[in-house]
């Protein structure tokens, strides 16, 4: 190892790097930074740059895919440097044989390494994750996104920061990084697979951009400037959409309501962007089939028509409104047994049955609290469950039965409320449509000896 550590601090590139770090990233002294180091030129330069900044606590993570003969040598190089300079080192291997059928290697490898970096970060209370992406990578990503029809978001290139992941070399070109590394004799591995043009990114790098750079030496800087213009325009359009439309949409952490009258006569691309901005972080990339899915959903307006977004939200058409809800709130729990004087947590509510003295009854105008004739069900198996197709009951005040589906429609429950609607049963017979109405056959009469209070309470501590 012949790295010139003493000369790095006075190198003009280090001065630029340090200024960029100070101006664009709010990293506090003594915070932990996980450096993602493959052993290649960019990540090794990143490592040696951070080694000069003694006020950060750096750690190294390396992923070995065992896909080349030199893979172990890359890991050995990174491990050698970490040992020599006493920097904590983490590594893991992921074998391509574990890929699913038809899975893209580049996408699989990217997901694996970021999952691993996130795991290390969480287990070791690390504040930041730094990668070695540069200007050239940014331009390559722009072309990749154009080919994938990712829309406006794809024109933004690689985000400089997303949550705890940041890219402090993104403002610098491959040429600048290589010149710095050569001047300071920084060791690195040359990954020959980067020349294999069966990978789309390598094709863009060697066939398109390399030839373009020979014609125009400033093309990488020019295209990066265009990316910055795209970002500025994208931010301006998003700001306008937020002010005009999103501020008029009812949104909380778990539910979104979009009235038809708000979006009826605006361009489809604006509506698509509204859906993107209210569901995920604005820099998230969208695939062409996801954009098509939103467009098809918006055009439908068929009540009950559903749309799944990023496996995080479900939207549904409901009369004059579109309703969206986070998927994790749609619980799949089927049923639970009930016992008197015992609380049961089911889905997002607490349910309670308790005996009451007839002399001290206080009737509230609240469908979440109901009194029933305990004599009729106390020796039966009591269960709480979600309603299902085919359910029926005898609503209070009626001697004839009614399909529960019709009852819920008449009460104008939206799709998600119906999805979570619960019922209480005694030996399989419904005695309470929870929060809505008790059955006529469990009402209190003059011969009732024991009375039970049924309660449904929002669980705010789940």
CB of 448 within 8 A of CB of 378?
no
Distance in angstroms (rounded) separating the CA atoms of residues 326 and 448: 44
Nearest to 344 by CA among 434, 237, 265: 434
- Mean pLDDT per 10-residue run, the chain (462 residues)? 79 96 93 96 97 95 88 93 96 85 82 94 96 96 89 87 94 96 94 79 91 92 94 93 91 87 91 91 83 91 89 89 79 80 88 86 81 95 94 92 93 85 96 95 93 87 46
Distance in angstroms (rounded) separating the CA atoms of residues 195 and 329: 47
CB of 148 within 8 A of CB of 287?
yes
Residue 251 has what DSSP assignment?
E
Nearest to 41 by CA among 181, 215, 137: 181
Burial category of 41 from C-beta neighbours within 10 Å (exposed 0-12, middle 13-18, buried 19 and up): buried
Burial category of 78 from C-beta neighbours within 10 Å (exposed 0-12, middle 13-18, buried 19 and up): buried
Burial category of 281 from C-beta neighbours within 10 Å (exposed 0-12, middle 13-18, buried 19 and up): exposed
Distance in angstroms (rounded) separating the CA atoms of residues 106 and 98: 14
**Taking the domains of the chain in order of start, what are their residue ranges?**
5-132+168-195, 245-329, 335-458
Distance in angstroms (rounded) separating the CA atoms of residues 307 and 298: 9
pLDDT at 333: 65
pLDDT at 1: 55
Q: Do domains 5-132+168-195 and 335-458 have the same CATH topology?
A: no
Q: Which fold has domain 5-132+168-195?
A: Rossmann fold (3.40.50)
For residue 370, the SS3 value is strand
Question: What are the contacts of 276-283 at 24+ separation with CB within 8 A?
Answer: 276/153, 277/238, 277/241, 277/242, 277/246, 278/246, 278/249, 278/251, 278/324, 279/309, 279/310, 279/312, 279/313, 279/324, 280/309, 280/310, 280/312, 281/162, 282/153, 282/238, 283/153, 283/156, 283/159, 283/162
pLDDT at 123: 96
Nearest to 36 by CA among 121, 99, 104: 121
Q: Provide the residue count of the chain.
A: 462
Distance in angstroms (rounded) separating the CA atoms of residues 23 and 104: 37
Q: What is the DSSP string of 131-161?
A: ----HHHHHHHHHHHHHTT--GGGGG-S-SE
pLDDT at 460: 65
Report the C-alpha dihedral over residues 232, 235, 241, 243, rounded to 10 degrees: -110
Structure tokens at 151: 């829309």
pLDDT at 300: 86
CATH architecture of 335-458: 3-Layer(bba) Sandwich (3.50)
Distance in angstroms (rounded) separating the CA atoms of residues 170 and 25: 12
CB of 384 within 8 A of CB of 339?
no
Nearest to 410 by CA among 383, 437, 386: 437
pLDDT at 462: 43
Indicate yes or no: pTM above 0.75.
no
pLDDT at 394: 95
CA-CA distances (angstroms) from residue 77 to 18, 61, 81, 91? 25, 13, 6, 12
């Amino acid at each position: 190892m012949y790295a010139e550590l003493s000369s790095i601090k006075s190198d003009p590139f280090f001065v630029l790097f340090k200024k960029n770090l100070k101006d664009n990233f709010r990293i506090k002294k003594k915070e932990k930074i996980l450096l993602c180091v493959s052993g290649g030129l960019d990540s090794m330069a990143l490592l040696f740059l951070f080694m000069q900044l003694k006020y950060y606590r750096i750690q190294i993570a390396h992923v070995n895919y065992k896909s080349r003969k030199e893979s172990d040598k890359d890991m050995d190089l990174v491990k050698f440097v970490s040992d020599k300079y006493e920097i904590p080192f983490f590594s893991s291997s992921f074998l391509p044989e574990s890929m699913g059928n038809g899975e893209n290697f580049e996408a699989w490898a990217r997901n694996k390494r970021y999952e691993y970096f996130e795991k290390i970060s969480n287990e070791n209370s690390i504040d930041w994750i730094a990668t070695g992406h540069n200007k050239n990578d940014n331009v390559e990503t722009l072309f990749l996104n154009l080919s994938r029809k990712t829309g406006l978001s794809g024109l933004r290139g690689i985000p400089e920061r997303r949550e705890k992941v940041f890219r402090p070399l993104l403002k610098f070109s491959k040429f600048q990084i290589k010149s710095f590394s050569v001047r300071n004799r920084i060791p690195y591995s040359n990954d020959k697979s980067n020349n294999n043009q069966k990978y789309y990114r390598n094709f863009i790098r060697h066939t398109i951009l390399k030839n373009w750079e020979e014609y125009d030496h400033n093309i990488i800087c020019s295209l990066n400037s265009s990316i910055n213009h795209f970002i500025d325009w994208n931010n301006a359009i998003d700001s306008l959409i937020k002010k005009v439309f999103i501020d008029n949409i009812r949104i909380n952490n778990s539910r979104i309501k979009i009235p038809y009258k708000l979006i009826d006569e605006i361009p489809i691309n604006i509506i698509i962007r509204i859906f993107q901005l209210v569901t995920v972080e604005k820099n998230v990339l969208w695939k062409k089939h996801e954009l098509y899915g939103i467009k098809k959903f918006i055009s439908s307006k068929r009540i009950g028509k559903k749309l799944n977004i990023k496996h995080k939200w479900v939207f549904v058409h409901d009369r004059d409104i579109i309703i969206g809800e986070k998927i994790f709130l749609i619980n799949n729990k089927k049923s639970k047994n009930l016992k008197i004087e015992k609380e049961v947590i089911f889905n997002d509510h607490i349910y309670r049955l308790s005996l009451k003295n007839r002399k001290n009854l206080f009737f509230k105008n609240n469908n979440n609290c109901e009194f029933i004739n305990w004599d009729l069900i106390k020796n039966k198996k009591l269960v709480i469950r979600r309603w299902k197709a085919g359910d029926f009951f005898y609503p209070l005040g009626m001697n004839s039965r009614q399909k529960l589906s019709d009852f819920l429609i008449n009460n104008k429950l939206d799709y998600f409320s119906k999805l979570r609607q619960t019922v209480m049963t005694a030996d399989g017979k419904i005695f309470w449509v929870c929060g809505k109405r008790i059955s006529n056959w469990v009402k209190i009469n003059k011969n009732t000896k024991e009375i039970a209070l049924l309660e449904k309470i929002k669980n705010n501590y789940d």
